[in-house]
Amino acid sequence: MSKMLVGRYELIEKIGEGGMAVVYKSRDRLLNRYVAIKILRPEYTRDKQFVENFRKESQAAAGLQHPNIVSVYDVGKEGSIYFIVMELIDGRPLSDVIKEQAPMDYKRAIEITKQVASALSLAHKNNIIHRDVKPHNIMITADGTAKLTDFGIAKAISDSTLVSETSRIIGSVHYFSPEQARGAYVDERSDIYSLGIVLYEMLTGQVPFDGDNPVQVALMHINNEITPPSQLVAGIPPALEKLVMKATDKFQSNRYRNADEMLEDLDNIEFVTKMVGNSVFAADDVKEFQQMNENKAKSKQAEKPVKQKEKSPDTDSKNKKKKTIMIIVAVIAAAAVLFGALYAMGVIGGKKTVTVPDLKNMTYAQAEEKLQSEGLVIKRGDDVASADVDKGKVTSQTPAANEEVKEGSTVTVNISSGKESDVVPSVIGQEYDETTISDYFDQFGFALGNVSYEYSDEDKGIIIDQSPSAGESADEGASVDIVVSKGQKTTTEVPTVTGQTYDDAVKLLTDAGFTVGKTTYEESTTYNEGIVMWQQYEPGTEVKKGASIAIKVSKGAPTVEPDPEDPGNSTGDGGTGDSGTDNGSGNDSGSDTTTNQQ
């Protein structure tokens, strides 16, 4: 039986689900069109602040009109059900495309990334941070258009409110920014980091960090350096690799300041690719590229034109001179374009190429000395918290270690300010393992506190809540209590149906997940006709979902028949009544009474 929301939206079938919501293909009966409806999971509806944020964020997303954003049509509530009505996309998620096609052609990867960056640009200009950019939330339509969806968990922010009031850190751990993993400051550059990870996965066919459990992956985002994609897949443009590494820098200050900056670099790389072609990026070095072009030139010279008719020596000479001039002009133009492209990409330029050394765990003075010996210049970046690098030492660098740069280039180093022990990290959505979670909290100077268990729609063993919440400040060594899912509840409370009409009782039982069992009808002087006067289980009793529950319904008060022996009920035939007392006619009187009752 299909469910109807607010008398307008008919839920047809479930087409997807995530940590926060379940999505249904539905029909809008008012406008006679198919839509997608996202319904907030029940466990979130108990948090009033979260529900309020969900409502505000959904309304904000409804104001975003962009060809690369899934349109939001309506936001509503019925009872305890909160929902968003969205555009129904004829396509499939990018995650499926990556599984089938990765490593993807870098031109296609650039095209998809540009579309998503354009969508994020609009969202960020409207003070909306997505917070969960991942291939599962990027739909690819039948005509190849990328559409970003799931703005339902985005946070509409202002300049003074950059962290969700619920302090919940929401997202997918493989695409987490380091600041999300720490439960710290989140802004538009966090979305840029996640988009950089998506681009990395399209180019290589794998995410940069993976582990045995989500907590390990989150720690990798915080502490480990990303392996350059060119070390995994050959033929990736150096300029595109630099873009990926910049977008996924561990420090927000080193990333693109906004989506427009990233989009501009993507446009430039795409332009150079069209002008020069693929070979410049596939060649191991410039000599190989030049040799390849020389071979092509020789091959063309070997192709002699077929003579159509005899030409005079003067005509032939003029044609040869004309062709020579055209070839020279074409070669000069091509060389100018090629030189400019190679110079822009840093392939040529006259300076010696050097390898950036690994500076992690060095003091600033040691890093400076090391860079000077390599002909490079040092620049001090930010002081940042680090769980694994001592205070005063280099925790990260840009460009990354082992990257090839020109002599005289500047290397920015960020210095550890020690452990960030006053901000509680997030473990919501992670699988509970006492040792792993304890170690994770210990990384940030906290301890695992009380562990309780509750039923929820999340899988058994998944952490669904924590206190203090992620992002809150707490004293070093403070305990963090967590709530772990017991899985879905298999029983539910029986509602009160006694005193309800039969139709209302059926609806109450059905909505609660039960079926109506045996229904009997009895006379009653207490309940009016059609009212339920008894139910099989007491209200509030825990009964297995789907069970049938018997009820009794009142037929109304019993009908009172006239008493034939009561004189007060005698009819006008007084003689007949009197004759009933005569011994000679007693049997006749009894026979008449029986007939009347029948």
Selected residue with higher pLDDT from 571 and 64: 64
The verdict on 136 and 176 lying in the same domain is yes
The verdict on 440 and 364 lying in the same domain is no
The verdict on 140 and 238 lying in the same domain is yes
Task: List active site positions.
Answer: 132
Q: Which pLDDT band holds residue 277 (cuts at 50, 70, 90)? A: low
Residue 348 lies in a domain: no
Residue 523 lies in a domain: yes
Least confident interval from 108-117, 211-220, 242-251, 557-566 = 557-566
Question: Helix or strand or coil: residue 520?
Answer: strand
The verdict on 41 and 52 lying in the same domain is yes
Spatial separation of the C-alpha atoms in residues 41 and 62, rounded to whole Å: 20
The verdict on 252 and 132 lying in the same domain is yes
The verdict on 378 and 258 lying in the same domain is no
The verdict on 122 and 233 lying in the same domain is yes
Spatial separation of the C-alpha atoms in residues 84 and 421, rounded to whole Å: 38
The verdict on 403 and 441 lying in the same domain is no
Q: Are 149 and 95 in contact (CB under 8 A)?
A: no
Residue 250's Cβ-count burial label (10 Å; 0-12, 13-18, 19+) is buried
Residue 305 lies in a domain: no
The verdict on 457 and 505 lying in the same domain is no
Main-chain dihedrals φ then ψ at residue 9, nearest 5 degrees: -100, 120
Least confident interval from 65-69, 103-107, 165-169, 248-252 = 165-169
Enclosing H/E stretch for 534: strand 532-535
pLDDT of residue 344 exceeding 70, the answer is no
CB atoms within 10 A of CB 5: 20
Q: Which pLDDT band holds residue 118 (cuts at 50, 70, 90)? A: very high
Contacts of 487 (CB under 8 A, 6+ apart): 455, 456, 458, 459, 460
The verdict on 169 and 227 lying in the same domain is yes
Spatial separation of the C-alpha atoms in residues 212 and 191, rounded to whole Å: 25
> Can you give the pLDDT at residue 331?
59
Residue 595 lies in a domain: no
Nearest Cα neighbor of 213 from 458, 462, 486, 485 is 462
CATH number at 14 reads 3.30.200.20
Last residue in a domain, options 281, 296, 311 = 296
Q: Are 106 and 96 in contact (CB under 8 A)?
A: no
Please state the rounded mean pLDDT for residues 281-296. 45
- Angle at 186 (CA atoms; ends 383, 55), nearest 5 degrees: 165
Residue with tokens 């019925």: 78
Selected residue with higher pLDDT from 310 and 201: 201
CATH number at 466 reads 3.30.10.20
pLDDT of residue 159 exceeding 80, the answer is no
Task: Supply the mean pLDDT for the chain.
Answer: 78
Residue 525 lies in a domain: yes
Residue 184 lies in a domain: yes
pLDDT of residue 534 exceeding 90, the answer is yes
The verdict on 264 and 149 lying in the same domain is yes
Spatial separation of the C-alpha atoms in residues 255 and 197, rounded to whole Å: 13
Domain region containing 467: 434-485
Q: Which pLDDT band holds residue 559 (cuts at 50, 70, 90)? A: confident
Residue 591 lies in a domain: no
Spatial separation of the C-alpha atoms in residues 328 and 333, rounded to whole Å: 9
Residues 119-131: tens digit of each pLDDT: 999 989 888 888 8
> What is the domain count for the chain?
5
Cα–chain-centroid distance for residue 438? 27
User: Across-strand partners of 398?
Assistant: 412
Spatial separation of the C-alpha atoms in residues 139 and 145, rounded to whole Å: 8
CATH number at 232 reads 1.10.510.10
Which of 162-176, 283-297, 338-352, 516-530 holds the top average pLDDT? 516-530
Residue 144 lies in a domain: yes
Residue 580's Cβ-count burial label (10 Å; 0-12, 13-18, 19+) is middle
Selected residue with higher pLDDT from 572 and 36: 36
Please state the rounded mean pLDDT for residues 276-281. 50
The verdict on 368 and 444 lying in the same domain is no
Which of 135-139, 317-321, 458-462 holds the top average pLDDT? 135-139
